[in-house]
Amino acid sequence: MLKQTFIGMITWQDIKMRTASILLASALLCISATQVHAETGSGLPMNQVYRGTIHLPDFNGRDSQYARFKTRITNEMKTGPNFAGHYAIVTVGCGTSCNFSFVGDVATGQVFSFPYGGEEYYMLQLRYGVKDNSVSVKWVENDVCNSDYITWNGNEFTTTGKTVLGAREKCDY
């Protein structure tokens, strides 16, 4: 039989279990905080919304390749971040059910290309959030719905790979 010593209404076994639970919870919080506090190339966290001064692209220098879309990019970035804490995903239409996007860092003004867009990604749809660095992508190709899940690291996207979902109706969110 186990010997239990009582301290008030709590046994030593209760104390051991509670201590183990506290240690486990602390460890999980540390792991979770490390994963959620991903940082970008600028050193800013992607899980906190940037509230500082909005910086616009340098269309005469570093971001000159995006100058053709200056008005659309500038107007969207002025509204503040909508993706990964301090980025703005800017979508531009290119015809019926055609669009492409850019990613603008509202903290630095730097613009990045987006891996999907144009006529080959018919009915392109993006789902993303201001405190998340992942994008769910869906599009129709040859009457088939396709998807990908991409993650932004502050400089580029990584992909899980194209997945065929089935008939084009599967692309309806």
- Written as tens digits, the pLDDT of the chain (173 aa) is 444 444 455 555 655 555 555 544 444 444 333 333 344 445 566 778 999 999 999 999 999 999 999 999 999 999 999 999 999 999 999 989 999 999 999 999 999 999 999 999 999 999 999 999 999 999 999 999 999 999 999 999 999 999 999 999 999 86
Phi-psi region of 124 (alpha: psi -120 to 50; beta: other; left: phi over 0): beta
Domain count along the chain: 2
Residues 166 and 86 in one domain: yes
Same domain, 17 and 100: no
- Tell me: do 70 and 141 sit in the same domain: yes
Residue 55 lies in a domain: no
Domain that holds residue 25: 6-36
Distances (CA, A) of 72 to 68, 100, 105, 159: 9, 12, 14, 26
Task: Please give the model's pTM, rounded to 2 decimal places.
Answer: 0.73
